Amino acid sequence: MKFGKLSIAAAVSALAGTPFAYAQSSVTLYGVIDAGINYTSNVQTGRTASGLHGADQYSFQDGATGGIRGSRWGLKGVEDLGGGLKAIFVLENGFGIGNGTLAQGGAEFGRQAYVGLQNPYGSVTLGRQYDSVVDYTQLFQSGAIWAGYLGAHAGDVDNTLNTRRINNAIKFASADYHGVKFGGLYSFGGVPGSIGHNQVWSLGASYYGGPFGLGVGYLNARNPNLSFYGTNPNAGTTAASNNLGGLGSATTPESNPIYAGYASASTTQIISAAGSYQLGSATFGVNYSNVQFRGLGSNSGPNPFGYSGNASFDNIEANFRYQITPAWLGGLAYVYTHAGGADDRGVAIYHQVQAGTDYFLSKRTDTYLIVVYQHASGTDSFGQPAVAYITGQTPSASNHQIAVRVGITHRF
């Protein structure tokens, strides 16, 4: 949907009685609505002295928690400033289709909000933005194409499915040079007397040529409990808050037991690399990521389990998709996650298998089915027997969990 050109410049010109050169500009309204019905097995309902308790759940969910695409609406604009230079902006709001509430912790434009300049060599933008791991390696994952948030690596520990956005960031993204793109981002911590406190920076690059695709990304977040995991309005603002998750209670479930015990890390580092190869209607993909929570025991967040040193996660995904017809896609993927733990604790393994199919009724509307199964073993970051936790759902009360979703998406 296109809005008319703004008339402020014309009004100023008329009042001044002088000629005014008009720049070509446009603003576009766009959006996505993703809704569906989910079944999740054995979700936690709380804990007692005898252990965790759970039950099967049927629920209506927005795409941001259990589907392929989070519901959103946005405005994006461009103004031609002449000489190849353009002003650009994006304001993108996430919302829950089931009740109309704001997503991203209540942020009005929680998905993206930035303004900047663009020329033939690339763009520089400022605001709330995606990091380079997301920009350059996300599209190699099954979760970004057909498996959705359910198909993210365990708990989306590597953020490749974009659970976190970066606030107060300046970002460069290059133009496409014969299939090569690259870029980087820096987020200002804004702490007086300490340039590095709360800072986030990332770098990435990708290449697409013929049937091949390659992508790499790197992210480093200092004091991540606040700078990386605490970027939504509903997050805690002090080191006493755990923005990664929680233990739950007798009547409430745990939140993110896979890595919530590492909120005291002084630094989070993410390295991601991915590739794909297309052979006719089939596409084969593989991606790897390493996540490290370094300097555990710092004053960045709570440390109830007394961790020190580093904790690490290795994620490996192999995926396959096949374009059955121009309108019908099918996919299958396997994800292996090894949690290295810290102080010889928190060592766990997560196996995840997912399958899905997506059928386009038109260019704007599609229906889909996703099935995900996860099995956990070892000890999680809470120091307890690891439970399964399919991203976007409530953790299981046992070491296995299955999630099934039937959904519909419409774009406008």
Mean per-residue pLDDT pooled into runs of 10, the chain (412 residues): 42 39 82 98 92 95 94 98 97 96 96 98 98 98 97 97 96 98 96 91 97 98 98 95 95 96 98 98 98 96 96 98 98 98 93 98 98 98 96 97 98 96
411: Cβ contacts below 8 Å, ≥ 6 apart: 30, 31, 32, 33, 364, 365
**What is the rounded CA–CA span in Å between residue 300 and residue 323?**
46
Question: Helix/strand/coil (H, E, C) string of 376-407?
Answer: EEEECCCCCECCCCCCCCCCECCCEEEEEEEE
Tokens of 180: 């090569």
How deeply is 373 buried, as exposed, middle or buried, from its count of CB atoms within 10 A (0-12, 13-18, 19+)?
A: middle
pLDDT tens figures, 272-322: 999 999 999 999 999 999 999 999 999 999 999 999 999 999 999 999 999
Q: pTM of the prediction?
A: 0.93
Residue 22: the pLDDT is 53
Helix (H, G, I), strand (E, B) or coil at 11: helix
Rounded distance, CA 76 to CA 91, Å?
6
- CB atoms near residue 84 (< 10 Å): 10
**CA distances, 13 to each of 4, 7, 20, 22, 132 (Å):** 18, 10, 6, 10, 42
* Residue 194, pLDDT score: 87
Query: What is the identity of the amino acid at 298?
Result: S
What does the pLDDT look like over 186-201, one tens digit per residue? 999 988 988 889 999 9
Whole-number percent of the chain with pLDDT over 90: 90
**Dist CA 245 CA 399 (whole Å):** 19
Q: What is the DSSP letter of 158?
A: T
Q: What would the two tokens of residue 355 be? A: 């399958």
Half-sphere exposure at residue 109, Cβ-oriented, CA atoms within 13 angstroms: 15
Q: Locate tokens 């933008």: which residue?
A: 125
- What pLDDT was estimated at residue 84? 96
388 contacts 154 by C-beta, under 8 angstroms? no
Backbone angles phi, psi at 381, to 5 degrees: -70, -15
- Non-local CB neighbours of 289 within 8 Å, separated by 6+ positions: 133, 137, 153, 158, 160, 270, 271, 272, 273, 313, 314, 315
In this prediction, residue 351 carries a pLDDT of 98
CA-nearest of 378, 312, 384, 315 to 343 is: 312
Rounded mean pLDDT of the chain? Answer: 94
By C-alpha distance, which of 305, 273, 308 is closest to 294? 308
CA-nearest of 93, 165, 104 to 135 is 165
Bridge partners (DSSP) of residue 258 are none
pLDDT on residue 11? 39
Residue 149 dihedral angles phi and psi, to the nearest 5°: -65, -30
Q: What structural domains does the chain harbor? A: 8-411 (2.40.160.10)
> Given the DSSP bridges, would you call strands 212-222 and 51-62 parallel, antiparallel or unpaired?
unpaired
